[in-house]
Amino acid sequence: MHTLVTGGSGYIGSHTVVELIGAGHDVTIVDDLSNSRASVVDRIERITGYRPAFVEADVGDPTALDRVLGTRRIEAVLHFAGLKAVGESVARPLRYYAVNVGGSTNLFDRCRDHGIRAIVFSSSATVYGDPDVVPVTESTPLRPATNPYGSTKAMIERILSDLHTSDPSWQIAVLRYFNPVGAHPSGLIGEDPRGEPNNLMPYIAQVAAERRPFLSVFGSDYPTRDGTGIRDYIHVVDLARAHVAALDYIVEHGGWRAWNLGTGAGTTVLELVDAFQRAANVEIPRRIVARRPGDVAETWADPTRANQELGWKATLTIDDMCADSWRWQQFARSLE
């Protein structure tokens, strides 16, 4: 198929482009480069031997999307484009609703007019809020998000559900990620945040590389095995492969379907730090600080539905995630 990947030069999008190419799909990337680099396309070509088409554009721009969709035989869309910093979303909620929700509705509207009905949406486990029971299944009740970023994911899910209800010819996959980490084993693409990282793994990596002086561990008094929060970390390559499987599924079966993507196992903050120290063979300076408002003690996925329906399973370990992140971090320093 010829797939359009919005946000395809970003972290998860770029790894998914690699897997789509490996599965034989043609790919066009649309990205406004607000949190990524155009050189990612060169590195995707180095990894795969195939150069995806690239268009610098905002998914909120209907004219730009019409130009892309009207000149290419796009058959499916994998939608990653959007803002993702939780703290920034609290400070600038209107921007997040305008970009994430407004950009998505514009994209779906243009897809409808161009006869494209297959959508794979990059959602998040934040739609579950603070669940009462773990592991989290797809039947776990959705709860109001604790921040505007999470609210935008829940809103877009609802929009896609309503869209399918109004017209069952839409083929929609909603993928609820837990905690993506790691990098491509080539070391050529990975998470490359601009400014201070918002996520744990890239922050650990930057401390290991002496780009930052120490890691702040938010809370050591949670009711967990070492007092720090537990999360389900999933290797970004495993995550990317799930997108290809989800695309195949909806094209064959149709409908609207949601899947949790995780390993089914939880790792504490300190366990992740220890694994990174082993991978990089360095000491990670750390300081214990107060809990952050809104953080939950523990959450991890039950990925049974994805295992059974998609024929997909996360196979890469925490040690793989840390080793690949460290390899990428060493390369990323050359990009500065």
Decide the pairing of beta strands 76-79 and 2-6.
parallel
Strand partners, 136: 301
Residue 283: C-alpha distances to residues 120, 192, 209, 277 (Å): 40, 22, 10, 6
**222 is known as an active-site residue:** no
Q: What is the spatial distance between Cα 333 and Cα 336, in angstroms, rounded to a whole number?
A: 6
Residue at 82: amino acid letter: G
Nearest of 274, 287, 293, 278 to residue 215 by alpha carbon: 287
As a dihedral over the C-alpha atoms of residue 289, residue 293, residue 297, residue 301, rounded to 10 degrees, the angle is -130
Tokens of residue 184, six digits: 């491509």
Q: What are phi and psi of 118, to 5 degrees?
A: -100, 120
Q: What is the spatial distance between Cα 13 and Cα 253, in angstroms, rounded to a whole number?
A: 24
* SS3 readout for 302-327: CCHHHHHHHCCCCCCCHHHHHHHHHH
Number of other CB atoms surrounding residue 62 within 10 Å: 14
Active-site option among 149, 203, 233, 249: 149
Residues annotated as part of the active site: 149
